[in-house]
Amino acid sequence: MNTMDNAFVFLPGFLCDPLLWNDVRAQLSDFTNITTLDFKNCKNLDDMLDQIALVPHKKFHLVGFSMGGYIAQQFAVENPDRILSLSLVAVNVGALNERERSARLKMADTLARFHYRGMTPKEVQRYVHPTSMTNPHVVDTIIKMSAAYTSEMYINQMKATLDRKDVSSALNALEFPILMVAGQDDRVVPAHTLEDLQQKIPRSVLKTISECGHYIPLEKPIQLASVFKKFISTR
């Protein structure tokens, strides 16, 4: 397989945009066909899935981070003929419990009455490894991406993925290769969550990146790109 001729499609996470993948893309310069999508203006899940469907490549490697991973697995299950491989980065693909649903709906109600202004450095601390807080590029990029969202965009994106379904059995039944990547110190999607998912999809490959929080593409872009390269080269 000539990996340089393969197309990649990268999906952002919640409150993210293509900036999330810039550092990873820089490490994948040998791959000439890379598309990074932006879901900011999508009203719902169907809009997000439609945007992927419009990618001009007949088949591609689909990569999703966090919320984008949920979108990626939904698209892959519905369109397996277009998937060369599926990579899920820091993804919790299970259904939300009632406490999580209630908290998100409460947040949506609050945002409907106020203007969202993006994440603060204090909020970023919850998502990244302590060493990443000393890296201005990581912190500033997360804040910049979130600040580009309006309250309406925030609410639309949150509600688009509110009613999540567990499609692990469907994924395991399909033929394309599946990679999962966990941050060893991720407090949002703990590494054991991906380990549990890997048990549900035993044909998948799980890689864990050390000293890394939730924002793996920003915190450890070199290591993440290396994982992608090795995974694709062995398929």
Residue ranges of E strands in the chain = 7-11, 33-36, 60-65, 83-89, 178-183, 205-209
Angle at 143 between CA 140 and CA 144, to 5 degrees: 80
Q: 6 vs 226, which has greater pLDDT?
A: 226
Per DSSP, 4 falls in state G
Q: Which domains does the chain have, with CATH numbers?
A: 3-233 (3.40.50.1820)
Q: 152 vs 107, which has greater pLDDT?
A: 152
pLDDT at residue 148 is higher than 60: yes
Per DSSP, 120 falls in state -
Q: The pTM is what?
A: 0.93
pLDDT for 90-117, tens place per residue?
Answer: 998 666 667 777 777 777 777 778 888 8
Backbone dihedral angles phi then psi of residue 162, each to the nearest 5 degrees: -75, -45
